[in-house]
Structure 1
Amino acid sequence: MNDTFTSQFHQLRPRLFGIAYRMLGSRADADDAVQDAWLRWNANDARAALASADAWLVTVVTRLCIDRLRSAIAEREAYIGPWLAEPIVTRASDLPESRLELAGDISMAFMLMLERLGPEERVVFLLHEVFECGYADIAAAVGKTEAACRQLLHRARERVRAERPRFAVSDAMHMDLLGRFVTAAQSGERAQLAQLFAPDASFTADGGGKVSATINVVRGADKIARFYESMARKFGTVTTFEHAIINGEAGLLRLVDGSLDSTMSFDMEDARISAIYVVRNPDKLVRAQALKIAADGCQNPSINA
């Protein structure tokens, strides 16, 4: 019987992790929440009588995440510079399990948008819009009435609608823009760089106060182009880029002297780059660094101009 319960949990684990990561923005914290849920599941003597293991475990993970998120809010308010989610870097060889746990939008833009929602708005939005839970299950998970959950979802949808880009580019255009960006960033040609960005493009960097990074969001094509012109002058001879899948989308790993310096995620709209999200905080790059080291023995060529 215990093997049956263990199997039930492991079948649901990718779903639970997906909820926890989107709630918390940290793979380590998401893993902890799922592990806590496993301990509670193991200690639940009434498991056999449950109408739905899925609903019970989603409720447990949801409440754990709400508690953790409320505690994290104060920490993030004191965070030095912009806060971005811990990037999840994946390779084709990681599939299919990673596709299961990461199914749905986990882009940096989406994760940053979720930061603008309160804990309860966030969980209601995620459970309904991403994980397709019914209102009864959502109400049980957050401890509110179905009517209250509908109102929370309405508010969350309004905020999300205001944040999401309207016209995303095709995968082919996305890859083309990445390649052109690498060429321009390596050369430091400001005019070439500026042409790649939307006039109101933004650049957000997360250093967490542990490494150098822009404290404020840089806005405007010319300002971002000047930034990369300066970076090329300082680090151009020792900087390379590698393709990677970052939070489910094609992005770049920036390497300095062969070591991982940062992950780079992009929003693209109307054949231009509309936003760049750079994670430099070394605490958030531990897993990405381990993946890169593991991949170094395989074919994973850097991209150079």
Structure 2
Amino acid sequence: MKKIIAILVVLILVLTPGLALADIAVGDVIVSLGENLTDSQKQAILEEFNAPEDALQITTSNQEEHKYLGGVIPAAQIGSRALSSVMVTYTQKGSGIKVSTNNINYITEQTYTNSLITAGINDADIQITAPFEVSGTAALTGIMKAYEVSTGEAIDEDVKKVANEEMVTSAELGEEIGDENATDIINEIKKQIAEQNPQTTEDVKNIVINVVNNFNINLSQEQIDKLVSLFDKMKDLNINWNQVANQIENLSGKATEFLSSDEGASFLSGVRDFFSGLANWIRSLF
């Protein structure tokens, strides 16, 4: 009976533009499955997610993936099948976004998180998977669609596109300078945009160049131009920059809190022991 009600809710949302659901509750779950999965693949993914039987289920199509990734990456890279799947579990206010992935070999968990912050999505645990290794570029579309269906709140189409562009730009930059450096640079640019409220392309360019220089990382002119182009688009969109900056600070605070905890201290100790053991082993070879 619950599944029938869930299907009716989705139909009402599709057929009645502007109609919003009541506020989502902590613990609410929605699953977006790739439209081209086989029945056995769908079942395996639902089992992997440990999805509740009454979880709302939707599908994301390859056509939707091309809509938001077209012009950002080659069509051949997007492919012709929608396989990436996601499960979104809403968490308490202020908890932030937590992303975990499986069989995703290109887009990092942090990159998804940052792109979702740009899109205005907060306070959710998000699992992303596929039946075998895929790039993961299409998963963001499924997450945003799941958010819209479950909350009844539409995400601006231009914001969706720029969030996808941020995801790809960050992944490309990460291949050249490392994922952590790419994430740090993009996050700092966002914070500077929130503080400075740039009005022109030249303002954005100055922010990008200053941030990159402060990180003492050498980027090519092409990489600089891509960052300027991305954030020049962002500055003109309906993005809550204060919220974006707060979410970034929240993520940084949680990382610091973890490293200061007993669990974090144990983790760092384990890392130190590993490298100490590795150094001793190398010395023993000579």
Q: Is this a same-fold pair by TM over 0.5?
A: no
* Richer in strand (by share): 1
TM-score, scaled relative to structure 1: 0.30
